[in-house]
Amino acid sequence: MQFIRSLLFTILFYLTIILVFIIAMPALVLPNKATLICGKILAHIIIFLLRFILGVKVTFSGIENLKKNERYFVASAHQSLLETFILQAPLQYPIFILKKELLKIPLFGWYLKKIGSIDIVRDTTTKDNLNFFEKIKSNIQISKRPLLIFPQGTRVKFGERLPFKKGAGRIYEALNLPCVPVALNTGKVWPKNSFLKHNHDIEISFLEPIEPGKDKNVFINDLETKIYSSIDKLN
């Protein structure tokens, strides 16, 4: 039964992404908000699929830390593909950082550009990368949307403690904005490198913001401590 549920969820998960993307295509010629709404719709559909197929309830806590009309950025733990989508439900149209190669994919790349995604060429120094932090700062100031980053740099298994990337500290320093850490346990439902999905409720916790003004290395240490200690408390 677990295999059948996992198979059904996987099929509908990717099919939903494709269908929402197709529906979003006409929005590419409309104002940005029309395209951004598609991401929020996708998040709610995936939350529904989790509940309906896997019996998994998604709970958000600490929403009060996402203060309306105030600028901030979000640094989330990364354990599965799920949070990439479902975090768009409570967040107000987050800005993503992604590999430059993704923007070259026909149609899909246009969609990513339309929603204001910021591209980077990994593990190399380019002219664009040198302006990377200024690009982030400019995008946030113009759009007034929160940046969403995954400071671990990749998906990790639930309970695994991967050191955070130094780039998160440089972003914190460049933006000079409060950072809202996010602890979650999505890895218990969809573990890294696993096809099987598990029946375990998802908890996503928005923690108290880390205020700007700290040394970037102190910030990284505080961010790691906050997120990992909070994950330890999740079921």
The CATH number linked to 167 is 3.40.1130
The structural domain count of the chain equals 1
Tens digit of pLDDT for each residue in 176-200? 999 999 999 999 999 999 999 999 9
Q: Is the pTM of this model over 0.85?
A: yes
Q: What is the pLDDT of residues 91-141, one digit of tens each?
A: 999 998 877 777 777 767 777 777 888 887 665 554 555 678 888 888 888
Q: Tell me what pLDDT residue 52 has.
A: 96
Range of the domain at 162: 2-233
The one-letter amino acid code at 35 reads: T
Q: What is the mean pLDDT of residues 152-165?
A: 92
